[in-house]
Amino acid sequence: MDRLDKHFRKLTKPVFSRYGFAYAEVLGQWSAIVGEELGQVSVPERIRWPRATGSSGDGVKRGGTMVLRVAEGRALEFQHLVPRIIERINGFYGYEAVTALKILQGPVSPPAAPKRQSAPEIKPDVLGDQADAIHDEALRAALLRLGTAVSHRGAASSPSTSGPISATRIQS
């Protein structure tokens, strides 16, 4: 039985190409491209390609304008960062796909926070049994310490997510 993610690109390609996203990964990796702080207050909506001169001989579209929706009150900040954002987008694509940004202000739904998976509880006797197969004494001791630390951390309460938000800037 095949998993859905195996066929995800084939299923979503017509929809994403309609809005100009040749690679759907740009949507999923947006926070990694522009940084966490900027990724939380912006979302790419589409890429508009030039009609006649938008693709090179190798079939790759170039010279697009990315339409970017940003949270109200943040457009000026994004306007100042346009050259760096374009550089990061093109670095992601690996070629000069985007040459301009069009910034629209409006409500931006925050990206879904990734769910933290807790480490499975490791029982000390199982950890010791598995470590007995390791002949290097220093390596065995280090792995036992690591296993014990992971086991205790998984049992502790998860860290608070209400801490201060760090300011992440795009570095050139």
65 within a domain of the structure (yes/no):
yes
For residue 151, what are the domain limits?
A: 124-155
Number of Cβ within a 10 Å radius of residue 88:
20
Q: What pLDDT was estimated at residue 83? A: 96
Q: What pLDDT was estimated at residue 147? A: 80
Q: How far is CA 83 from CA 40, 111, 150, 161, in A?
A: 19, 24, 42, 32
Within the chain, which residues score under 70 in pLDDT?
Answer: 1-24, 52-59, 110-128, 153-172
162 within a domain of the structure (yes/no):
no
Strand, helix or coil at 167?
A: coil
Domain boundary among 47, 74, 105: 105
Q: Whole-model pTM?
A: 0.53
Q: Do 71 and 139 reside in the same domain of the chain?
A: no
Q: What pLDDT was estimated at residue 146? A: 83
Q: What pLDDT was estimated at residue 74? A: 94
47 within a domain of the structure (yes/no):
yes
